[in-house]
Structure 1
Amino acid sequence: MGNYLLRRFIRSVLTLLLVVFIVFSLLRLMPIEGYFPNYEKLSREQIEAGLMNMGLLDPLPVQFFRYVKSALHGDFGSSRTYMANVMVTDILKQKIPISMKFGLSSLFLALLISIPLSMAMASHKGKWIDRIGTLFLVILQAVPSAIYILLIQAIGTEKLHIKMLYQANDMTTWILPVISMSLGNIAFYTTWLRRYLIEEENKGYVILAKVKGVSSECILKKHMLKNAIVPMIQYLPNSIFNTMIGSIYVESLYSIPGMGGLLVQVIQKQDNTMVQAIVILFAVTGILGVLLGDILLCLIDPRVQLTSRGGV
């Protein structure tokens, strides 16, 4: 177990360093206007002096290792054009909590719907409840998210008269964004939990319980659900970490001042320092979420066998 976890950790660190290097290198190919809020008014000498002060004229490997060293201390530099001279970490501290509030709310709603829905579909496999549920899941997965997000927005604002634009002090403005952000997780968790529940149905302990006269409802709730949720645990850390990065489309549509909307704004303003930090944050959350999911699954599920190659 210890060797496996160490290998997974080293592999994740190397993957993260590779992603950071690629992002770092690509952004060095971007126009230098993104480093100066008043680029048009500066002379060539002033621009070169500014680039030198920022260390952007040093060799790329020197810049990269300096950036990694600073990032490990929580220093991602300062914004150049989005909020000139404001530390990137200070901006992220304002935006991340907002995205997490919406993300965690939508994840909670998704789990609240997915668990009973998957149980109903699995216990009525092949019947009308399962067929309708399957059709619902297929639609969610097949139709582009922008379509049903706009549909929710139209129905919510025009038919139900729910306020559209986000207001910090009005919880009703959370309704449409949270519903919109939850649909993807509803489709994912319901699909997989239904599958795992159906797999559990054919196992020996279920057959034995039925022979002993235990009701199907009791078997489903007390035994099958518990075992079916175990493999789903590995996806939960990634879902939680993803709440930090927000939803670009939903946050932009509802004017939510979170991470998703921030990425769009800094790209429009060509703030290379901010773009770099946000993209790296996205990579960190993704890699860390997968790593913690694998570790968590190994710790809680004794049935998991670690192969000699380090896989699960």
Structure 2
Amino acid sequence: MVLKYIVKRVAFIIVALFFVSLITFILVKSAPGSYIETERLLSQNITDITVPPEVKAAWEKAYQLDKPEWQQFLIFLSNAARFEFGPSFQYPSTTIEKIIMRTFPISFRLAVMAIGLALVIGIPLGIIAAFKRNTVIDRIATLVSMIGTSLPNYVIAVFLIYILALKLHLVPSIGWGEPKNYVLPVLSLAIAPIGSITRYMRASLIETLNKEYIRVAWAKGGGFRQVVLKHALRNSLIPLITVVGPQLAYLTVGTVFVENLFNIPGLGKFYASAAIYRDYPMVMGTTVFFATIVMFTNLIVDIIYGILDPRIRKHSMLEG
């Protein structure tokens, strides 16, 4: 039953990735301009972007752009199935998959650190808000979580740069490679998950505390440690998996603005550069890779959640 459910989900992921690839291909082909024109305009600082026909023809042949678009798409699908995206326009001497493997760990490290910080701050805030609900502390925690989930990470990043780097001179505003360079980007990425985790932790714990078995445990003389920490808190932490897993995936693929702002050599920075320079192979390959990360992370989260909560597993298996 479990294997059947996983196979069905994987089949849905494959179909979804096909449509992600198709939509991305249509969009990049519909976008105005081309790499050689954009590169001449941005890199050489000239206004005449006319490319000699023979140069353009040779370039298109090298990247198989002289073939019909439907054939280009099929070639991409065939290569993507083997995780082979070929060379990018900007970096013809290396393949896109090598760029992904070299830069993705940096983006993933940022995301893991941000999620870790969010858990360390968000869970205690949610617990405090749950036990102090309808008080000033609860309202402050709720306000902080609302602000965190409402502001984009690049807005938060600019604010943190202004306060911590430019005004207080506590950390550098740009750079990579030293521990102090992690502070601003990790904080920028962690604010939104802190808000989400705080809200979910508060709501989940309040709901658990109102359960019948918790009231019975209190009535039998159970102490705070036994009732709250052993039963209520443990059961309240399970739903957090459905928040933390997707948040980690979305942070991993959502570091584009932060990496560009802090000049971090992660995959997000290369992805943004590819979009600016019309590096279509890089855009296609990275988009499909990001989509795969998100979809399989959601699948893993569902499986783990089912293992921890048999009721969810039984319901999911029956639907599958």
- Could you say what secondary structure the match of 2:85 adopts? coil
Matched length: 309
Aligned residues of 2:88 and 2:96 also touching (Cα < 8 A): yes
Please report how far the alpha carbon of residue 309 of structure 1 lies from its aligned counterpart in structure 2 after TM superposition: 7.8
Residue 60 of structure 2 corresponds to which residue in structure 1? 51
Aligned residues of 1:100 and 1:246 also touching (Cα < 8 A): no
Please report how far the alpha carbon of residue 29 of structure 1 lies from its aligned counterpart in structure 2 after TM superposition: 3.0
- Could you say what secondary structure the match of 1:255 adopts? coil
User: Is 2:69 aligned against 1:68?
Assistant: no
User: Partners of 1:124 and 1:291 in 2: how far apart?
Assistant: 35
User: Is 2:137 aligned against 1:136?
Assistant: no
Aligned-partner residue type, residue 7 of structure 1: K
User: Partners of 2:151 and 2:75 in 1: how far apart?
Assistant: 44
Residue 278 of structure 1 corresponds to which residue in structure 2? 286
Residue 91 of structure 1 corresponds to which residue in structure 2? 99
Aligned residues of 2:197 and 2:243 also touching (Cα < 8 A): no
User: Is 2:264 aligned against 1:256?
Assistant: yes
Aligned residues of 1:35 and 1:271 also touching (Cα < 8 A): no
Worse-superposed segment, 139-148 or 34-43: 34-43
TM-score, normalisation: structure 1:
0.89
Please report how far the alpha carbon of residue 75 of structure 1 lies from its aligned counterpart in structure 2 after TM superposition: 0.8
Please report how far the alpha carbon of residue 243 of structure 1 lies from its aligned counterpart in structure 2 after TM superposition: 4.5
Aligned residues of 1:238 and 1:285 also touching (Cα < 8 A): no
Aligned CA RMSD, in angstroms, stands at 2.5
Residue 174 of structure 1 corresponds to which residue in structure 2? 182
Please report how far the alpha carbon of residue 98 of structure 1 lies from its aligned counterpart in structure 2 after TM superposition: 1.3
State which of 221, 238, 245 in structure 2 corresponds to 1:230: 238
Aligned-partner residue type, residue 175 of structure 2: Y
User: Partners of 1:283 and 1:161 in 2: how far apart?
Assistant: 37
Please report how far the alpha carbon of residue 57 of structure 1 lies from its aligned counterpart in structure 2 after TM superposition: 3.4
- Could you say what secondary structure the match of 1:164 adopts? coil
Worse-superposed segment, 299-308 or 87-96: 299-308
Residue 16 of structure 1 corresponds to which residue in structure 2? 17
User: Partners of 2:124 and 2:169 in 1: how far apart?
Assistant: 26
User: Partners of 1:117 and 1:30 in 2: how far apart?
Assistant: 45
- Could you say what secondary structure the match of 1:303 adopts? helix
Q: Which sections of structure 1, spanning at least 5 residues, go unmatched?
A: none
- Could you say what secondary structure the match of 1:306 adopts? helix
Please report how far the alpha carbon of residue 179 of structure 1 lies from its aligned counterpart in structure 2 after TM superposition: 1.0
TM-score, normalisation: structure 2:
0.87
User: What whole-Å deviation, never above 9, does each CA across 1:14-43 have from its counterpart, x for those lacking one?
Assistant: 111111111123223345732686796854
Change (3 A) 1:310 1:51: farther
State which of 300, 306, 320 in structure 2 corresponds to 1:298: 306
Aligned residues of 1:4 and 1:306 also touching (Cα < 8 A): no
Change (3 A) 1:147 1:33: closer
Change (3 A) 1:218 1:121: farther
Q: Percent identity?
A: 27
Residue 164 of structure 2 corresponds to which residue in structure 1? 156
Please report how far the alpha carbon of residue 94 of structure 1 lies from its aligned counterpart in structure 2 after TM superposition: 2.0
Residue 202 of structure 2 corresponds to which residue in structure 1? 194
Residue 4 of structure 1 corresponds to which residue in structure 2? 5
Change (3 A) 1:233 1:152: same
Higher RCO, 1 vs 2 (CA within 8 Å, ≥6 residues apart): 1
